[in-house]
Amino acid sequence: MTTKRAPTIRSKLVLLVMACVVPASLMAVLLIAYDYQRAREQLLANSLDTARAMISVVDRDLASIESSLVALATSPYIKSGNFRAFYQQSQTVLKNQGSQHDMNIALLDITGKQYINTRRPFGSPLPTRNNFPGMRAIYETGRPVISDIFIGEVSKRPLLAVGVPVFDPGIRYNLNAGIFPERFERLLLQQKLPAGWIAAIFDGNGKIVARTRDMERYAGKMGTPEMVRHMKTATEDTFESVTYDGISVQTVFSRSSVSNWSLAIGIPTQSLHQELRETLFWLVLATVGLLICSLAAAWAIGGRIADSVNGLTGPALALGTGEKVDVPPLHLREADEVGASLMQASVMLQNAQHRANHDGLTGLANRTLFNEIVNQQLLLCERNQSELSILYIDLDGFKITNDKHGHETGDRLLRNVASRLKSGIRNSDVVARLGGDEFAIVMVGTDMKNAKITAEKLVQGVSEPYVFDGLSVSISASIGIATYPDSGVTSQALLHRADRAMYKAKGLGRRRVEAAPSA
Ligand SMILES: Nc1nc2c(ncn2[C@@H]2O[C@H](COP(=O)(O)OP(=O)(O)OP(=O)(O)O)[C@@H](O)[C@H]2O)c(=O)[nH]1
């Protein structure tokens, strides 16, 4: 079975960064899209308000022209047939309105015959028929009429007309104001729409009356089929279309209930989306920048954490081998804490190891460790053809000392005997407490003769009185000696032989040394 490798801290941090940055960016995109949608709707609503305001400006202009004509239609010069005077009066009205260039006044009868036309000097020949589309309606209804756009007989240019009846007392003439599209173009331009926006006025048939761009080219032409279709079905609407110039626009229009004319504003789709595109561009740039910085930071931080954690590997392995563990600062609190725990565990392990191999009272090696050491030394002796002696030491009458002076004094005596034994041998020799009042010493490279000399000295040393807080305590020791290879070749065999020799020493009167016989 294969185990899947766990992810690294770096990959986890990278995931964390992605988990933070990506949803935040998506949320930002959603908010921007929502905000854009609201701003767009607001802009279209505002543009529709502007279209309404602009068409009402057009309506007011037409109404003021109409009222001027109604007033002029009551001129006594018409009734008296003094057309020269009426011509002058009409010129004065135009002059007062500042409309000499974009408007003319003409007096016609039902046949279309013109009596005066301010576009021509008085008395010059005038057309005897007229194209004014609403003229018949004036005679039929007796009410003022605002025409759709048509080609003027005199100017031969697209123009519009406002016509009012002249009563005498029945309708005798109609008085028309012919208006050039430039007048409405001026009205459109006065609104100062943002650059790139297109505004246009359409008559009741959907023909272009005026336009803020290329008006000469398009005035009198039908609006685009899309525009005409929408104007026919609604009085106000918002829709997407393409202008004659091929520009994709968001169109809003409003139709006047007075003149039946419509005013449309076209907002180029590109400019409408431009801001969104720019905002999204910066957002993407910021997200990518943020991601790169965050990932770099995550990579660096992840690397540092990984280094700190990896720094624990060596100490952890050292702990397994029982070595003393020393963990240097890892510059990460959690790793430092684990390091401190490893060092503490190492101390505890070493203490436990020491306890397992040493006697708690005297600190000497215990029987287990002693056997281990002897067995190791025996291997060396075998290879080096050298000798080794074991001393088995038992205190004489220790029970009496215990009973007489108490267990505590007995412990103290055992500790002091241990130190005298240690100080009585070479550093390379090892002394152990086998249990109770029994000790053993292994002397490497020492034959029986020399072992005996040392043992004698030890019997002497141990027998010196001990003084504890003014109390003098005496004890002696009996020692049995066994030597490799003569007495045995294993630790157990040698100890056994030395033990037997020690018992022999006891039997022979204590406080003496006895050698084990050759095996
Ligand atoms: N104070 C103290 N006494 C101990 C300890 N371990 C064993 N003893 C005592 O040591 C005494 C050993 O007595 P024995 O083995 O009978 O030997 P002995 O009294 O020295 O007599 P011989 O060996 O025959 O000379 C016993 O009374 C044990 O209770 C210890 O750690 N501390």
ipTM: 0.96
Is pLDDT at 439 greater than 70 in this prediction?
Answer: yes
Q: Tell me if 85 sits within 8 A of 77, measured CB to CB.
A: yes
Q: Considering the domain boundaries, does residue 302 fall inside one? A: no
Residues 367 and 484 in one domain: yes
437 CA to centre of ligand 1 in angstroms? 5
Is pLDDT at 198 greater than 90 in this prediction?
Answer: yes
Q: Which of 164, 179, 194 is the last residue of a domain?
A: 179
Give the gyration radius of the chain's Cα atoms.
62
Residue nearest to atom 18 of ligand 1 (CA): 397
Nearest atom within ligand 1 for CA of residue 413? 1
The C-alpha angle with vertex 167 and arms to 161 and 173, in degrees rounded to 5, equals: 45
Residue 394: CB within 6 Å of ligand 1?
A: yes
Number of neighbours of residue 428 by Cβ within 10 angstroms:
11
Is pLDDT at 447 greater than 80 in this prediction?
Answer: yes
Residues 142 and 269 in one domain: no
398 CA to centre of ligand 1 in angstroms? 5
Q: What is the pLDDT of residue 136?
A: 87
Q: What is the pLDDT of residue 1?
A: 44
Catalytic residue among 429, 437, 486, 499: 437
Residues 416 and 490 in one domain: yes
Residues 376 and 492 in one domain: yes
Residues 350 and 377 in one domain: no
Count the domains in the chain.
4
Whole-prediction pTM:
0.59
424 CA to centre of ligand 1 in angstroms? 22
205-263 pLDDT per residue, tens: 999 999 999 988 998 899 999 999 999 999 999 999 999 989 999 999 999 988 889 99
Is pLDDT at 443 greater than 60 in this prediction?
Answer: yes
Residue 408: CB within 6 Å of ligand 1?
A: no
Q: What is the pLDDT of residue 349?
A: 92
Q: Cα separation of 403 and 400, whole Å? A: 5
Range(s) of the domain holding residue 225? 43-56+183-273
Residue 434: CB within 6 Å of ligand 1?
A: no
Is pLDDT at 2 greater than 60 in this prediction?
Answer: no
User: What six digits make up the tokens of 516?
Assistant: 């084990």
Number of neighbours of residue 270 by Cβ within 10 angstroms:
12
Is pLDDT at 409 greater than 70 in this prediction?
Answer: yes
Q: Which of 298, 333, 356 is the last residue of a domain?
A: 356
Residues 151 and 194 in one domain: no
Q: What is the pLDDT of residue 321?
A: 85
284-322 pLDDT per residue, tens: 899 899 999 999 999 999 999 999 999 999 999 988 888
Q: Which of 116, 144, 179 is the last residue of a domain?
A: 179
Residue 223: CB within 6 Å of ligand 1?
A: no
437 given a catalytic annotation: yes
CATH of the domain at 69: 3.30.450.20
Residues 109 and 129 in one domain: yes
Residues 193 and 128 in one domain: no
What mean pLDDT comes out for the span 405-419? 97
**pLDDT category of residue 345 using cuts at 50, 70 and 90:** very high
Q: Cα separation of 163 and 145, whole Å? A: 5
329 CA to centre of ligand 1 in angstroms? 51
**pLDDT category of residue 3 using cuts at 50, 70 and 90:** low
Residues 237 and 94 in one domain: no
For the chain, give the percent of residues with pLDDT over 90: 78
Residue 186: CB within 6 Å of ligand 1?
A: no
Residue nearest to atom 12 of ligand 1 (CA): 399
Residues 345 and 479 in one domain: no
- Beta strand 236-242 with 150-151 is unpaired
What are the Cα distances from residue 250, in Å, to 54, 89, 230, 253, 278? 18, 46, 13, 10, 19
Residues 380 and 469 in one domain: yes
Is pLDDT at 183 greater than 50 in this prediction?
Answer: yes
Residues 49 and 196 in one domain: yes
Q: Considering the domain boundaries, does residue 35 fall inside one? A: no
Is pLDDT at 32 greater than 90 in this prediction?
Answer: no
